[in-house]
Amino acid sequence: MRAVIQRVNKASVTIDNSIKSKINSGLLILLGIEEEDTYDDIEWLCKKISQLRIFDDEKGIMNLSVKNTDGDVLVISQFTLHAKIKKGNRPSYIKAAKPEIAIPFYNKFISTLSNHIEKEIQTGEFGAYMQISMINNGPVTIFIDTKNKE
């Protein structure tokens, strides 16, 4: 499971020229699910994201989590995070989970993260063509891969 986490001032997702979800200060999370992912990956990643101290405290030091700041969260499915580009110039997405696996994992990720931060999570629509708008705050962008816990 891979996630790109961006600290944002605001973000929104538009589908068919209509805003589906929007948030104010918080996190925009692009989530990629692969065939080998497990529910342990979901739990580990949600715990890590909920405790990630990337928001400024009163001294301007990144020392607070999204939960500490009562920040919003927007999660977007993003199978292209598993692009393989070793051969040629056209990415292969062979490791990305098929919808019958990815959709339940995506939904479980959302509910688990919601439980960790004790707040409703905003989402895109799995498999839809979406336009994402955001104002990155910092910028702060963090990449996490549950198969490579650095």
Rounded to 5°, angle at Cα 125 from 122 and 128: 150
Q: Which of 78, 112, 123, 146 is an active site residue?
A: 78
Q: Which of 14, 55, 69, 80 is an active site residue?
A: 80
Task: Please report which helix (H) or strand (E) contains residue 67, including its range.
Answer: none
**Is 105 among the residues known to form the active site?**
no
**Is 6 among the residues known to form the active site?**
no
Which SS3 state, helix, strand or coil, does residue 98 take?
Answer: coil
- DSSP bridge pairs for 125: none
Rg (CA), the chain: 15
**Is 78 among the residues known to form the active site?**
yes
Place of tokens 């973000």: 11
Q: Which of 79, 105, 112, 122 is an active site residue?
A: 79
Please list the active-site residues.
Answer: 78-80
